[in-house]
Structure 1
Amino acid sequence: MKILNLPQCSFRFKEQGGKKFIYDEVRQKFVTLTPEEWVRQNFLHFMSRHLHYPTSLTGVEKMIKVHGLSQRCDIVLYNRKGAPVMIVECKAPSVRIDATTLSQAARYNTALGVPYLVLTNGLKHYCIETEVKDNSYSIKSEFPSFEELQ
């Protein structure tokens, strides 16, 4: 797998039936290793080990309803009260982070109303603070601490 612009970490892998799998510590199971999953697992590690976001308050591939349609958010972070506070949209390293990616995360946010959207392809990462009331946003230079999300 491609080296990403995230801190290096070690993972558990297995191969079965000619397919490679990676262990997801949040879902506590092996999942198919795709380029997007590689980014998701590395970003989850970054969130928990470096930003100190609790894995117990992290959801992976969370099902939500957007305009009556079922959608899956790559990662949703919740605060201590159980309210969603961050959506992370992961893309494969070969996929550019652009307006389409932002639009996808913003669409998910119509259902969740979180104050932060994160877009990453493992090489570039964007943290966007949203203001749901007036439909505005600003790009942050750093990720918020978990305490700031309370």
Structure 2
Amino acid sequence: MDQDLNRVQLPNLNLPPFEPKLQEVDGKLGIFDSLRKKYLILTPEEWVRQHWINFLIHHLDYPKGLIVLERGLVYNKLQKRTDLVVWDKEGKPYLLIECKAPKIKLNQKTMQQACLYNQKINAKYLIITNGLNHLCLSWDEGSGKFQQIKTFPEPPK
């Protein structure tokens, strides 16, 4: 397996590259999650999520301690999980990031899923991403809707 790690072709994403730690986990390729400090099975969605974690911390200066992975929530009596949630320093949800695999198109369905999750979380910002395309939204109190924005949100104050 170690020789296979050197030959793994992972897709380039529209995020800054980084050098992930990869190793075998239960016979599958794993990637080190710096937040949970453990190896996770490397799925296409996990590849996107780990890039976002790296981007938030090392390029946008988000505090590592404010980022939470896979927070559970219940929607329509079903247990769901958010991909990434960033909290502000007062402990309120600031940014919800919904990660999809690079092959998944960002469309109305993916946007609705993220918005439904956010109804429970109430983050001010929402990012829907497949690693190649990123849709950034900001909650507009006046209209009671999300509005698309052109830049990534600044780290929480």
Q: Provide structure 1 residue ranges, at least 5 long, that are not aligned to the other structure.
A: none
TM-aligned CA deviation for residue 139 of structure 1: 0.8
* More strand as a share of residues: 1
Which of the numbers 39, 47, 51 marks the counterpart of 2:48? 39
Report the alpha carbon displacement of residue 38 of structure 1 after superposing the two structures with TM.
0.3
Deviations 1:88-120 (A, max 9, x none): 000000000111111011101111111100011
* Structure whose alpha-carbon radius of gyration is higher: 2
Residues 27-67 of structure 1, C-alpha deviations (whole Å, 9 max, x = no match): 11100000110000011111111111111100011112224
- CA distance in structure 2 between the aligned counterparts of 1:132 and 1:108, rounded to whole angstroms: 18
Query: Which AA in structure 2 matches 1:119?
Result: I
Question: 1:143 corresponds to which letter in structure 2?
Answer: F
1:99 counterpart (104, 108, 118): 108
Residue of structure 2 aligned with 1:66, choices 52, 75, 78: 75
* Cα distance between partner residues in 2 of 1:133 and 1:66: 26
Between the aligned residues of both structures, percent identity stands at: 36
Mapped to 2, the partners of 1:77 and 1:39 lie a distance apart of 16
Structure 2: distance between partners of 1:71 and 1:46: 25
How many residue pairs get aligned? The number is: 148
Report if aligned partners of 1:66, 1:108 keep a CA contact under 8 Å in 2.
yes
The answer on 1:7 being equivalent to 2:16 is yes
